Amino acid sequence: MISSPGANKALTEEGFLHVFPQIYDCEGFFVARLRKTQAIPTLPAPKYKVGNFPFSPVKDREAGQIRQAAAGVGLNWDENLRLWQRDKETVVVPGGH
């Protein structure tokens, strides 16, 4: 049973809870209760050493090009944030990691 005021507006037919920003003062998220019904095969071992940050720093020249392209669409970040990459992913991380 959900006792929060207005929660019934966020409840789905299946009993899940969509927490919408227009109902609650938040950015919105989805809440669900999951139940494990069977075992799954073991996942393959990661190709990187577990516990190490699996990204590497983006080279300065490429980072400059990414910053320039991002600025062209209105995305900017502080100088203390650094670009890191893995495969086809690029992320912004605080200071040298």
Model's pTM, two decimal places?
0.45
- What is the pLDDT averaged over residues 41-54? 81
Is residue 28 a part of any domain in this protein?
yes
Helix (H) or strand (E) holding 72: helix 60-72
Residue 29 confidence (pLDDT) above 50: yes
Q: In the chain, at which residue ranges do the beta strands (DSSP E only) sit?
A: 17-19, 29-31, 56-57, 81-86, 89-94
* Residue 46 DSSP class: P
Is residue 10 a part of any domain in this protein?
yes
Is residue 46 a part of any domain in this protein?
no
**Which of 11-15, 22-26, 59-63 tops mean pLDDT?**
59-63
Is residue 76 a part of any domain in this protein?
yes
The CA–CA distances, whole Å, from 68 to 72, 77, 82, 92 equal: 6, 11, 14, 14
Tell me the two tokens of residue 38.
Answer: 């069977």
pLDDT tens digits, 63-89: 999 999 998 988 888 888 899 999 888
Total domain count for the chain?
2
Is residue 51 a part of any domain in this protein?
no
Residue 2 confidence (pLDDT) above 50: no
* Residue 19 DSSP class: E
Is residue 23 a part of any domain in this protein?
yes
Is residue 41 a part of any domain in this protein?
no
Is residue 71 a part of any domain in this protein?
yes
Q: Which domain holds residue 22?
A: 1-35
